[in-house]
Every structure is written in C-alpha cells, then in structure tokens.
Structure 1
C-alpha cells in the first residue's frame, strides 16, 4: 500500500509536466505561436539568413524587427567582412539607406571593391543593454569579424525581462496563455531624479550588461566597437524638472518673463538667483545655457546645457555618467574599442554643443548626423585595421528620403513626451518629392514603389542626376545582388 501511494504521488507530480510537454509539442507541430530565434532563412533566397522579425519579442513584446532586414550568407564567403550592429534605433526616422550602418557599408564597399561586405543591422527602437546582451550571446556561430554597439538612451524604459521570462516567451504554451491577457506596458522613464536610487539602478544595470557583453565577446576574440552617446542638448528643452519650491518658482517666473521679453541681462540674473535657491531644476539650467550660448560663452553654455540634460527627470536622453562608464569599459576590456561619436558631433557643432543642426528631435540624428556617426565608426575600424583611408562617399539618398525623416519627426513631436506647442517643421505636399514622402509616412506607400514613381518623374523632367541617385539607392537596397557579386 505504501509503494502504491508513493507511485500515485510520483504520477501526480509528473503528470502536469508531462501534459505541459505534450501541449507544447502539439502547439509546435501545429505551428502555433512564434519562433523567437535570432535569425531565420531569408524567404527570398534560402542561401541567406535574415534577422527574425519576431526575435525582439523575447525582450520587447509587441515590437517586431524592421521589415527591411539585411541578408547575409549562411556560408560565410572566404575573405569577406562580416559586421553585426547592436543597440537602439540607428536610422530612425529615415528609410532604409539613411541609417549609419548602411552609410558605413557603402563606404567599406568603396574601400574594398572586390570584397564581400556584410553589415547586418540588429538594432531596435527602445532596445536597451539587456537586448544587446541577449543578441550578443547568439552571434559567435555566425563568425562576425566585428560587432558595433550604440546603446544607452533606453536604460530607463520598460522593466527588463529576466532570463527565465525571456525563455518562457519562446515557449508556445506561454505564448498561448499570454494571448488570453492584455497587459498595459509601464514606462519607467518618468520622475527619475538625478542621483536617486532609480537613477543609479539604471546605471548599474547598464554597467553589468555591458560588462557581460564585452566579456563574452572578448572570450570569443570578437572585436567590439562601442560608441559613446550623443543627444540634442542645445535646442531641446528638458521634458520634466524637479519641483523647486514656492520661493524658487517666484524668482524663476521673473526670469522666464524677462527671457520672453528678450531682456537677457535681467533673465540671467533671475535664473542665477533661482539656481542658488534650488540648483537641481533642469529647465532653469537650460535657460542659463541658452543665454550663455547667445553671448558666445560656449564653455559656460556646455556646462549649463549638459547639466540640464542630466537633470531632466523624464529620461529619454542618457546622462553623461554612461559616457564616462563607456570610456572606462573600453579601457578595461582589451577587445573593446571606443568610438568617440560625441567628440565628432561636438567638433561639427558651433561651440561644441550639438543641436538642431545635427538632430531631428531629442536624440535621433538628421542625415548630417548619421553621416558623422558612420564616419566615427569607420575611423575607429580603420585604426584597428578593418578599413583604409578611403574618402567619405556621397550616399545615394534622395530628396524623398530626407523628407520622410522630416515628416516622421513632425509626427513624433506631436506625441508624448513632447509637450503641446513643441515647434515642428510643417509637412508640405507642394512638390512631387513632398507628396511621395507624405504618402510613405502617412499612407504607408512602399518605399520601393515611391522610388519607382520618383525615377519616372525625374526622367520626365530630364533630371538625369536625380534619376541616377534613385537607381543607385534602389541598387544599394538590393543587398542580395551586392553579396552575390
């Protein structure tokens, strides 16, 4: 009787797990749910692999990978150069060829015209250091020659998924149960004071994940090119400031009235008095920085505007603490190489303070910004022997591509976290290029179709230079043809 009772208990314990295994197997056989593998066969050509559009769901549920994934050969070609790019969105809000990795690939192709160049973009909107670490764990079997990383602005977003939850999200049974419930995503970036416990948790999390990433890639002798971070410091007001108290508010309001009346001297005096009363107010620091910039005191402007960015309690821009940490990590890990994008942006900005001349919004560069970013990575690669001294190439980017970025930025600035009344470049549809860009952004016209219409228009208008740029853009977008040749 005792043995029989023990047998019943064993069956009672094992049976639920057995049923779950059978359910999981049945769901997979019936092709229910999503395969969250990092790469899948290229649907257009099975000689290639592409970034699995469902892979990001392991870390960022509901966010598929970009539709224009970069193919790379399953069997790496002899003598080829294969580079993976990890991190946050590096081309938004532009289409296809405007991302910095495509600029970099185009330049490497001109540097090594007889060599197969594969630059595979795995970066994602809202990706953080957890996503970077997760993807990095899976790269070694694909034999990368180098890994490029740009990340840090999203460390205070959604609560990260632990390793157990990431594994569960790949199981079909978990996907089935999850589909029965809806969960409102919580954004954790708001109301995080500089130096607070949540602030340092984000810094610590970034440090731990980047150390793990650099350690595992270094153990596999894969060189890593890690960029520091850039943002629009000069022309973007902080999203949220800490309350300074009633005394501060009275003096700050005096400064604000003087600032709006263009009385710079009175405004500076009031803001300085307000800063004495409460030195942790982001918007007060921003106005002091703008006033210093206007009188061409760029050293003071850099200090005030950098302080304003770091004090912004809605953390859409990384604090400079992360840049210091990135520099330290690159010194600590021998296979990690610093890409000083920040220095490049500063050298190409008046007074060394990047603003709207290089950004479309708070942190997404414009075309000039992405060009500079790609140049920073190229030069870092060249120092380590991955590239030559090739001159900067003119990318085949059309007027429509440029306008798509402007139109998407217009839409973005009309949404949270941007406050009502945020200045926006108007959306225009007076020209053929403007109309095509509008159709891509607001009517979801395929980019390739728009390029076909643009080419026909340029031929009709006998604009052969414009037509040539369109054809070059379309050719560059057909990565399989480049890899095959």
Structure 2
C-alpha cells in the first residue's frame, strides 16, 4: 500500500503530461495550417472575401468601397456617386515619407451638419496638427456619412485600413435605429458567443471555412441576415416615417447588442492591423430636446389614457400636468414624455440630480431613438477599457467633455445646434482640441514636442474659421430647420403623438 501511495503523485503528473502532449499533437495540424495561411496565403480584402469577417447579423455584400482613384490617379477620392451621403474627401495615392494619415469615421456629426466638413472637427484637428507639427504632411480624411450607422462604418473601416493609416477616429452611436432591419435568430445567441464572432475573425482558417459553407444564393443568405441596401434607407426619409417606430424592447436590445458587436469588430480590425484607434463616446442634448416619440404601452387602460391626455393638455396647470406625469410613471416607468416633463421641471427648479435622472430616462426610452442611449455610451467606454493590453486605443468621452457645471451627467445644451450636432465654436473646436491632445500622446505616431502652444493652435483655428464667408454660415442655419422637420418624420409626422 505504501508503494502505491508513493507512486501516485508521479503517475498523476505523467497522466497530465500525456494529456497535454495529446492535445498539442491534435492541434498541431491546425496551427501549422493557420501559420501557412497567414504567412504565405493571406486573405484578400474584405470586399472580395467574406465569411466570419462579415457582419454575422446583417448582409452587407451590396456595399461598395468608399474611395476610388481620381481621374489622374494621383489621389484616392470619394466618388461623386456618393455625394448624397458624403462630402468630397481625398488623400494622396502615394503617401509622403513625412506624411501622417488619420481617417475619421462617423455620421453627420463627423460631417459637420448642419454645416459642412469645412467646419467639422476633423478639419479643425488637421489645422491644430499642422500648426503644432508643421514638418509633417497631415491628411485628416473626413469619412462622415449622413445617417451612417456603425455596421456601415465597419465596412469603411475595413477599407481604409488598407490605405496605410496612422490612426482611426470613430464617432458613432446616434444612427443605429434609423434603418429598418430584423435580427433573425439573434435573440438565441448568448452574449459571449456573439462577441466570439469578432474573435473568430482573427483565424484565417475559420474565415476560409466560413466562406465555403456560407450561402452563395442571395435569397438564401437574406433568410438568415437582413439585407442592407447599398445606401442608407432611413425610415425618417419617408413621409410618416415616425409612425414606423413602436415600442419593441426585444428589437431595441438587439440593436444595442449589434452596436456592441460592431464596435468590438472595428477595434479588433485596428488591433490586427496595428493601427491606433480613438473611439469617441457620442454626445447629445437632453435638456432642450424632448423625446421624438413617446407612447403608452399597447395594453394601457382607460385610466392611463385619461392621465396621458391630461398630462398633454396645455390648458391644465403645470402642477396638474406634473402630477399626471408622476402617476403615469408609477405604472409605466419607461414613459419618455412623462420623464421629460418631470426632468425639465426639476432642471428649471435647479434640482439637477433629479433632473439628470429623469432627462436621461427620457432620452433612453425615446420610442424613436435618434440619440445614443446611456447603455450605448457605456459600451464605447467598455470596448476601450476591455481592449487587449498591447492595443493602442484611446477614449474621448465627449459627454464628459461637454458636461455642464450643474451636472456631470448632462451636456451643456448651449453646445448643440439641435439634438446631437455640436456648435462649431465650443463644440467642434473643443472636440478637435481634445483629439489633438489624445493623438499627440500616441507613441506610434512618432510625434516630437509640439512647436506651437495651445494658444497658438486656438488662434490658428479661429483665424481659419474667421476667414469663411458669412454665406456659408447662413446656409448652415437654414439647414437646421430642415433637420428638425426630418427628425419629426418629415411631412407625415407632426409629432402629435409624442
């Protein structure tokens, strides 16, 4: 008995070693194939090869590259056929030896709406960088597409990573609910497995296997993933589009999970390409902007309908309307209109803590979500915080940058021209200045000490903005009303059901 007892630890170690070697032998062929594929047979571009690297939830195969060669082939440019969604932008075909190239991806905020790219933060960032580092040939390329959501930007990110970028800046989150799409089977996918799609994309072998087994017929593929048209088809671009938005918690959660999956895939792309990434938390106004649509639950009672009507009745006193809102929230705590009414009242009474709580709920429970929710803001932060330690990734928390003195949870409403678009002065200028600080601290960019102070950079930006003629600013102000009407559902949506 003593002999067997003495031999037990040795036998246990042998069994563990044997099993470990057996696993290694079993995995060796796969590791060998993976190395061969990575080193000698790398995949072509994303547009010409799909599989797991494609979005697993929507079919994006109809999307086309954003850039094309210029007529003289000296530059890559956004083609004129994309002018309904993008402003002109280009960069040199041959990158200068002293060149630095930054791509900025996003929606209409990146494009500078209601103005244009001339006064958007990517252009102002380029001025700051050129002022501070004049010996470098800077190209800050504006890839802001009107109404472009993260899943469309993911395709652009895959494309621009082929153009020798020195960094990517991504500002997205407000457009995720604009296009009508379904998520067949997505509810059954556990969150860890959904995140695993992005991890699986790192394997060359898995991507090739996915290409082999993926449906070749468009109709068959459309049965498992929503077909996304070549360009944005926003519901609010159609008369009465606001009516299409209804309370649907399952769909809302799927959109948010899709947003998270996409951001993680963009971050993984940049990690694999060894390109620095700067993610921006999108900011929005919640004080001056009421919910775009608020409704009662489908199974509401006549008593709730009465409360709802009295809350919206302008002939009722403010005290009565507030009391109706409080009663509605007892039964329907996710009612956006009731939360907003109580939030504005608390804000005006300088009860900022309660005001922030109500106003954030009013935005987050908006039936027509045209602003990134609190959960989506946190997702951006989490993607940066949970990134691999060897990844060069930074966070620009714009809501914190725009925070009011009254509450860190509420952006200063004066910094916005509407629900999401920042003012040029104080908005875009502030984002550009903070991006400069973030980018200038990234080691791989190889930037030495700045040759201009903060005051010099600010003066350069102000001089540039002051040189733009008044007609430009006047056209931008004229577009503001158009944007407001669009957000109300255009001609068919008067906002009466809010």
Q: TM-score range by the shorter chain?
A: 0.5 to 0.7
Q: Does 1:328 align with 2:399?
A: no
Task: Decide whether aligned partners of structure 1 residues 167 and 390 sit closer, same or farther in structure 2, where only a CA change above 3 A counts.
Answer: farther
Consecutive unaligned residues in structure 1, runs of 5 or more: 1-33, 57-62, 169-178, 423-485
Task: Decide whether aligned partners of structure 1 residues 149 and 284 sit closer, same or farther in structure 2, where only a CA change above 3 A counts.
Answer: same
Q: In the alignment, which residue of structure 1 is the partner of 2:307?
A: 251
Task: Decide whether aligned partners of structure 1 residues 331 and 203 sit closer, same or farther in structure 2, where only a CA change above 3 A counts.
Answer: same
Cα distance in 2 for partners of 1:406, 1:316 equals: 20
Task: Decide whether aligned partners of structure 1 residues 226 and 192 sit closer, same or farther in structure 2, where only a CA change above 3 A counts.
Answer: farther
- Alpha-carbon offset, residue 222 of structure 1: 0.4
- Alpha-carbon offset, residue 420 of structure 1: 3.6
Q: Deviations over 1:87-132 (max 9, x none)?
A: 2122111033111111111111111122111001112011112111
Kindly indicate whether the alpha-carbon contact (under 8 Å) linking 1:329 and 1:336 is maintained by their aligned counterparts in 2. no
Please list, as runs of the form range in 1=range in 2, the aligned pairs for 1:148-159 lying within 5 A after superposition.
148-159=169-180
Q: In the alignment, which residue of structure 2 is the partner of 1:47?
A: 74
Q: In the alignment, which residue of structure 2 is the partner of 1:66?
A: 86
Q: In the alignment, which residue of structure 2 is the partner of 1:207?
A: 260
Kindly indicate whether the alpha-carbon contact (under 8 Å) linking 1:84 and 1:119 is maintained by their aligned counterparts in 2. yes
Q: Deviations over 1:20-48 (max 9, x none)?
A: xxxxxxxxxxxxxx9943322224x5322
Q: In the alignment, which residue of structure 1 is the partner of 2:65?
A: 37
Task: Decide whether aligned partners of structure 1 residues 131 and 351 sit closer, same or farther in structure 2, where only a CA change above 3 A counts.
Answer: closer
Q: Deviations over 1:161-200 (max 9, x none)?
A: 99999998xxxxxxxxxx9xxx987569843537x11011
- Alpha-carbon offset, residue 50 of structure 1: 1.3
Q: Which has the higher contact order (CA 8 A, sep 6+)?
A: 2
Q: In the alignment, which residue of structure 2 is the partner of 1:314?
A: 368
Kindly indicate whether the alpha-carbon contact (under 8 Å) linking 2:400 and 2:411 is maintained by their aligned counterparts in 1. no
Q: In the alignment, which residue of structure 1 is the partner of 2:482?
A: 411
- Alpha-carbon offset, residue 265 of structure 1: 4.3
Task: Decide whether aligned partners of structure 1 residues 350 and 400 sit closer, same or farther in structure 2, where only a CA change above 3 A counts.
Answer: farther
Cα distance in 1 for partners of 2:397, 2:98 equals: 28
Q: Does 1:88 align with 2:142?
A: no
Q: Deviations over 1:7-27 (max 9, x none)?
A: xxxxxxxxxxxxxxxxxxxxx
Q: In the alignment, which residue of structure 2 is the partner of 1:122?
A: 143
Q: Does 1:370 align with 2:398?
A: no
Q: Deviations over 1:37-80 (max 9, x none)?
A: 3322224x5322212344x6xxxxxx7453422x2111111122
Consecutive unaligned residues in structure 2, runs of 5 or more: 1-61, 184-210, 219-228
Cα distance in 2 for partners of 1:260, 1:144 equals: 59
Task: Decide whether aligned partners of structure 1 residues 166 and 398 sit closer, same or farther in structure 2, where only a CA change above 3 A counts.
Answer: farther
Q: Does 1:360 align with 2:380?
A: no
Q: Does 1:380 align with 2:452?
A: no
Q: In the alignment, which residue of structure 2 is the partner of 1:390?
A: 454
Cα distance in 2 for partners of 1:133, 1:287 equals: 37
Cα distance in 2 for partners of 1:116, 1:290 equals: 48
Q: TM-score, normalised by structure 1?
A: 0.67
Cα distance in 1 for partners of 2:215, 2:179 equals: 14
Q: In the alignment, which residue of structure 1 is the partner of 2:398?
A: 341
Cα distance in 2 for partners of 1:349, 1:126 equals: 31
Q: In the alignment, which residue of structure 2 is the partner of 1:464?
A: none
Q: Does 1:112 align with 2:133?
A: yes
- Alpha-carbon offset, residue 235 of structure 1: 0.8
Specify the SS of the correspondent of 1:109. Answer: helix
